[in-house]
Amino acid sequence: MLNYYCKNRSYTVIIEYQLLTDLDSGSCYAVDNEVFIEAESLLALGHELVHAEQLINNKLDLEKQTWKGKHYMHSKVQPWEQQAYGLEQKILDTWLKS
């Protein structure tokens, strides 16, 4: 998925996945040219992969809380989360069909 959507191929993506049936959480962050994903379900993994694409393609800066250059520190509606929630089920369904 990331190879298709990411223009910047100079990143390494490191995924830590642990299936925990009662939890559906995850995290994604970048350090230098590495993106780290931790996920506790396949749905969360799909969600965090969207964030990885956002970070790699410089759409999202978590440190500055900016999306495509616009500041969203105190916004209740963060566009990067809207996109991730909007795509997570589609990514999961694609995996389950393959």
What number is the average pLDDT over the span 69-85?
Answer: 88
pLDDT at 80 over 70: yes
Burial of 52 (0-12, 13-18, 19+ CB in 10 A): buried
pLDDT over 60 (residue 97): yes
Q: Judge contact between 30 and 55, C-beta under 8 A.
A: yes
Stronger pLDDT, 58 or 12, i.e. the higher one: 58
pLDDT score, position 5: 54
Question: Which residue(s) pair with 13 in the sheet?
Answer: 35
* Dihedral sign, Cα of residue 15, residue 92, residue 59, residue 78: negative
Given the DSSP bridges, would you call strands 60-61 and 34-39 parallel, antiparallel or unpaired?
A: unpaired
Q: Tell me, what's the pLDDT at 15? A: 83
What is the domain extent for residue 7? 2-97
pLDDT digits (tens, 9 = 90+) for 2-50: 555 556 667 778 787 776 666 678 889 898 888 898 888 889 999 999 9
Q: What's the confidence (pLDDT) of residue 16? A: 77
Res 85 pLDDT > 90: yes
Residue of 28, 24, 1 whose CA lies nearest to 14: 28
Q: Specify the number of domains making up the chain.
A: 1
With cut-offs at 50, 70 and 90, classify the pLDDT of residue 87: very high
